[in-house]
Structure 1
C-alpha cells in the first residue's frame, strides 16, 4: 500500500480506519431488512412491473444491478443507457428481454438528441430481427425528395431522409442511427407515418446478467439482490445478515423480530466485530509504515555511497526509442511502469507533449477520427511529429492504447507509419507520438482540399495502390487485421510514398481461429457487409475495404456521398452495378485520360475488375491480400512491357476486356470465377497480339 497517496498525517490514519470500518461494516452486518425490502417491493409504473435485476422508485438499489435503474414519470417507465433515455414498453423476465424506444422520437422526428443508439455491451445485446436505420438531418436539396422537414439548430437546410444501415451524414448536417424491425424497414424508408410508427414500436434488447446465482438463490428460498461491495449478484436470506450465494436451512443468526432482542444482539455483534477488525488493520498499517520508512532510510544511506545501476530494482531502466537514439530524461522514470508494457518504445511525459504541441493548439490539428485528435508537434530534440491524443482516458481507451502500441512496435515495413513513443497508461492523458507524414492523405488528394493540385496522375495512383496492398499483405502475414482501411488512413510523404496509419481499430488475429467475433466497427462505406451482418471479422474484411479504396483511386469519388443518386450513395454498390453493366467508362475519373490513353484504359479496366473481385458480398469469393498485391504488380508490369514493345492503340480489343463477359445480375455473383478466368485469358491474348 502506498501511504504517500493519503493526504492525512500518520497519526490520523488509525482513527480514520476505525471510523470507516465502524460505520461501513455494521451497516452491512446489522441490516436484515434487505430480504424484506427486495422480497416485497417491485418497481411498478403504469402497466410495467419488474423485479430483479431492475430497481428504482420504491425498490432500493440493493435489489438490482446498477445499470438497470428504472424511472417513472406520469406512469411512463424509462431507462437510461449510455446517457440516452429510452421508454420501456415491455419487460419479459422469462426471455430476459426489454422492448425499448428512443424517448426523443416518441413525439416526432424533430426532437432528437442527435446521438446514435448505442448499448452498454456489458449489460445489453440486440435481439435478432432488427436492423439499423439512419435518419439524416440538414441535407441540401437533392434529386431525392426529402422524407421529412426539420429545422435543427446548426443545420443549413431542413431537408431530411432515411437510409438502411448505419451511414455517415455526407454533406448533410447530422445523422442518427436507430434499430427498427426488419419487417418494417422497407416501408419506414419511404413512408413518414411508417417510420414514426416503427420508432414508437421500439426494439428489443436482451439484458446480460448471469442468472445462475439468482436461480440458486430462489431455489433456496432467498431473494436476489446486488452486493455493492463485491459488485456481484447476491442472495438475501430470511434471518441472515450477511449476503451469500444461497440460503442455508439453519442460519447462523436467528430471524429478526422488529424491536426484539435479536436485532439488538445482532447489531452489537456486528459493531464488535467491525471495531476489532478496524483496530487490527490500523495497527498492521502502522507497523507497515514504520517498516517502509526504515527501508527508505537504509536505501538512501546506501545510495549516497554507491550509485544504483540502471538495471537494478531501484529504478526502471530508461527506455530507448527504436527509431533513433535520443537523450532520455530522468524525469520520465517516474512515469514508467515495470515490465515490458510498452514493448521497447519511448515513454514521453505529458508536459513534454503539451510543450511540443503548444498546449494542443487547435491551429495545429492535423485531423481527427473515432478515437482521437492528431496534432502537429515539434519535440525538444527538433523532430517533427504527429501527436495522437485519445479522446477519453477510460478502461476501453487504455486497452485500445496498449493494443496500438503492441502492434506498431513489433511491425516494421516501409509503408507503415512509425511509432516514436507514447505516454504512460497512468498518465493524465493517453497519447501516441508518430512520425510526421507531411503530404496529407490520399483522400485529401482525391476529393479533399488538395484535389485540385492534379498531382495524382495514373502512375502515382497505381503506385499508391501497390504500396498500400503491400503494407496490408504484410499485416495479414503478421496475423494482424487493420479493420479500418480507407483513403483517410493512407498518408503520403513528399515523394507520394504510402504510409498506412491509424491502427486504432486493429486487433491481433489469433492463429487458431477463422474469425474474430466483435461488435461491428469501422467507417461507413468501407465496412465488409458480411462482417456487419454476422459480426465476423477476417482478413477478407480488409480486402473488401481495399476494394473500395481501389474504386476511389480510379474514380476520385467518395466512399459515401448523399449528394449522389439514391442508388449510388454507396460507392461500392455503384461500382459493382456499373462494372456488371459494362459501364466502366462512367466510373473512371475523366482527368486520367481513360478515353484517349490506351494504356490507362487497359490498366484502369483491369483495376476495376480486381476491385470487383474484392467487393464480393461473400468473403470466400474475394482474393487474399497477397493475391491482390500480385495482381496489381502484374498490371503494372504488363503495361511496362507493352510500352517497351511500342504497342499500338487497339481500342476494340481493350473494350473487349469486358464486352466479352456475359452480363451479371447481383444474384449471379457466384459465377465470378468464370469472369476472372475469361478476363485473364483475354488480357493475355491482347498482350500477345499487341
Structure 2
C-alpha cells in the first residue's frame, strides 16, 4: 500500500504529539508535522512531512529532493489551505549576481507531491536555453550563453504552455507570485509562489480505509480508461493547434499578441479578506488618491504587502474604468509595470483592486511634491527613470495598448528607484491595422496631446507627447501645470518649447542637478531636452515613436551616440531643427541624426516583460 494512501493512524509513531511546533518563525501544525527522531517513523501523512534545517528554515520533505534543496516554506495559511514556498534549486541555479547559470531540466510543478497544487493566482516565468539569440531578455551568465527569460506568463491549469515554445530552445516553467521590488527575474524566484493543498483523508479504521481504497481503485481504473481515451483525443487536437501557433510566430509581435490571447483571469479576493488586510480601510492606512478611488496599504494572509484601491461609489464612469484596468493589467507583466494581484468580483459590496505595494512614492512626490526636499533624485537616477518609463510604454505599444494617462503621479518608484508605471483606468486597446482611435479626450491637464484634445483622435503618439512632458519635469523639477507661473507658462510644455526654441535651456533646467558645474551632466541634459522637444511637436509625424525614444535615451546614457546612424526624415520641417542649430551641440546630436522608422511596434530586446 503506497504510504500516501494509508490512513493517518497507520503512520503514527509512539512519540507523536498533537501540539503545534515551531521552526524559526513558522508554526507547524496539522496536517503538517515536523519529523523528529523521538517520534518513531511518522506523525502524520507523509506528504505533509516538514523538515527543519539547522538555520531554522522549513522545507517540504515530500518534494522529491534530498536534504533541504527543495521547496523552502516561507508562510502557511491554514484557513485558506495555501502556503508560500521558494524553489531553492531554481534560486541557487540562477544566481546571476555570482555569475552562475545552471539550467535545470525540469519544471517546478513536476517535483510537487500529490496533495499540492500551484495556486492559480500565480504567474509564471519561462527560462530558455537556446542554440541562438532570440528576441527576449537575455540572462547574463558567466558560465553560459543564450539563456533568456520571459515573464508575465499566465497560469494554465492544464499545464499547456506549448504556445510559448521557441525553436532551438529548451524551456522550463517556474511559478512566481510577484513582489513590490521584483525588478528582475531573480527577485521573482526568490519571492516564491503559492501552493494550495487538498486535506488528507479523515481518520478511520484500517478496515474502512482499505475498503475505500479498493472501491476507489476499481472506480479509478474505469475512470482512467475513459480519461486516457479523452487525453489521446485532446493531445492530437492540441498538437495541431500548437503547430499552427508556432507556424504563425515568425515575429516577436505575433508572440506578444499570443501572450495576450493566453492571458488568464485575475485572482478574485473577497471583500472581507481585504477589509481585514487594511484594518477595515482605516484612515491610517490611506496612501492617497488612485484616480478613481482611495488607495490603502494592506497585508494579505500570505504575508504579501499590497496596495488596495477602493472604487468611489455611485459612479458609472468609475466602474467602467475599474473594469478597464482589470482587463488591461490582467493581460500584462513587465518589470516596469505595476503588478495586479487581483480584484473583487463585480458582485462584491465594493469594487477593489489589489496591486503590489510600491514603497518609495511617485516621481511627482520626489520632483515637486512632499518629498522634493529630500533631493533624492540625482540626474543619473532621473535619466534612468526616463529610460525605464519609456521601456514600459514601448512594451505597451508593442502589445497594442495606449496608456492615455502618462504623468509623473502615475510613475511609482521602488526602494531602488526603479520605475513601476501604474493606473490603467484610461488605457485603450489599439489595433495595429488602424491609424487612430476616435474617442472623447480624457487625461490630465498639462499632459494631454493637443491633437487628441482638438481632433478626438488617439494614437500611440499621444503617449509620446505626455512622455515629453514627463521628460521636461525630470529636467526642470517643475509641475506640468502651475497657476502661479506667468500666463504663457502655466503649461510646462509651452514653457519648454519656448525656452528650448529660444536657446534658453539654462532657464528651464533645475540647476541643482549640476547643469552649470558638470560638463557631462550638461551634455546629457541637453540631449534629453532635444528628445523632449521632439516629443512635444504639434505635428504627430514629427514626434518619434516611443521605441525610438528608448534607443536615443539609452544612447545618451551610455555615451555611444556616435555609433548610431539615424538619418533625418525628409519631411522634417525647419522649425524642428532650431534646437540643434542654435545650441551648437556636438556632431553626434541625436536629433540631428534622428530618423523615424514609421510605426514599428516591436520592442525586441527592450520588451523585458515577456
Which TM-score applies when normalising by structure 1? 0.46
Compared with structure 1, are the counterparts of its residues 432 and 341 closer, same or farther at alpha carbon in structure 2 (3 Å cutoff)?
Answer: farther
- Residue 542 of structure 2 is matched in structure 1 by 621
CA pair 629-576 structure 1, distance change in 2 beyond 3 A: same
Instruction: Report if the CA contact (8 A) 1:367-1:374 is conserved.
Output: yes
Q: CA RMSD in A?
A: 2.9
2:386 matched to 1:465?
Answer: yes
**Map of 1:684 onto structure 2:** 587
Change (3 A) 1:347 1:321: farther
What is the Cα deviation at residue 406 of structure 1?
2.2
The 3 A distance-change label for structure 1 pair 538 and 640 is: closer
- Given the two structures, how large is their TM-score scaled by the length of structure 2? 0.52
In the alignment, what sits opposite 2:286? 365
- Mapped partners of 2:122, 2:312: distance in 1: 25
What is the CA–CA distance in structure 1 between the aligned matches of 2:262 and 2:572, rounded to whole Å?
Answer: 47
Match of residue 557, structure 1, among 457, 465, 478: 478
Q: Which residue of 2 is the match for residue 502 of structure 1?
A: 423
Match of 1:482 in 2: 403
The residue aligned with 1:611 is: 532
Report if aligned partners of 1:514, 1:538 keep a CA contact under 8 Å in 2. Answer: yes
Q: 1:639 to 1:552 in 2, by over 3 A?
A: farther
Aligned to 1:569: 490
Q: 1:438: which partner in 2?
A: 359
Classify 1:319/1:401 alpha carbon distance in 2 versus 1 (closer, same or farther; 3 Å). farther
CA distance in 2, matches of 1:319, 1:599: 49
Which position in structure 1 is the counterpart of 2:299?
A: 378
Q: Does the 8 Å contact 2:263/2:331 carry over to 1?
A: no
Shift of 1:613: 0.5
User: CA offsets per residue over residues 481-533 of structure 1, 9 Å max, x none?
Assistant: 00000000000000000011111111111223211111111011101111111
| Corresponding residue of 1:406 | 327
Change (3 A) 1:321 1:429: farther
Structure 1 runs not aligned, ≥5 long: 1-316, 331-339, 643-667
Greater RCO, 1 or 2 (C-alpha within 8 Å, sep 6+): 2
**3-state DSSP of counterpart to 1:499:** strand
1:540 aligned residue: 461
The answer on whether the counterparts of 1:480 and 1:508 sit within 8 Å (CA) in structure 2 is: yes
Aligned to 1:221: none
Matches within 5 A, 1:520-539: 520-539=441-460
Q: How many angstroms apart in 1 are the aligned matches of 2:573 and 2:396?
A: 28
Contact 2:119 2:194 in 1 (8 A): no
SS for the counterpart of 1:422 is strand
In 2 relative to 1, CA 446–682 (structure 1 residues): closer, same or farther, beyond 3 Å? closer
Alignment of 1:94-109 (within 5 A): none
Corresponding residue for residue 252 of structure 1? none
Residue 493 (structure 1) aligns with: 414
Residue number in structure 2 paired with 1:588: 509
Shift of 1:686: 8.5
Contact map agreement 2:527 2:589 (CA 8 A) in 1: no
CA distance in 2 between partners of 1:537 and 1:612 (Å): 20
Q: CA deviation at 1:608?
A: 0.7
The equivalent of 2:194 in structure 1 is 326
Partners of 2:584 and 2:551 in 1: CA distance = 17
Verify the 8 A CA contact 2:359 2:413 in the aligned structure 1.
yes
The answer for the alignment partner of 1:347 in structure 2 is: 268
Cα shift readout 1:70-120 (whole Å, capped 9, x = no counterpart): xxxxxxxxxxxxxxxxxxxxxxxxxxxxxxxxxxxxxxxxxxxxxxxxxxx
Q: What does residue 181 of structure 2 align with?
A: none
Supply the distance in 2 between the matched residues of 1:400 and 1:441 (Cα, whole angstroms). 21
Is the CA contact 2:464–2:543 (under 8 Å) kept in the aligned structure 1? yes
Q: Does 1:597 align with 2:518?
A: yes
* Aligned length in residues: 337
Q: Structure 2 stretches of 5 or more lacking a match?
A: 1-117, 124-175, 178-192, 199-260, 564-570, 591-610
List structure 1 runs of 4+ shifted beyond 4 angstroms: 327-330, 639-642, 675-682
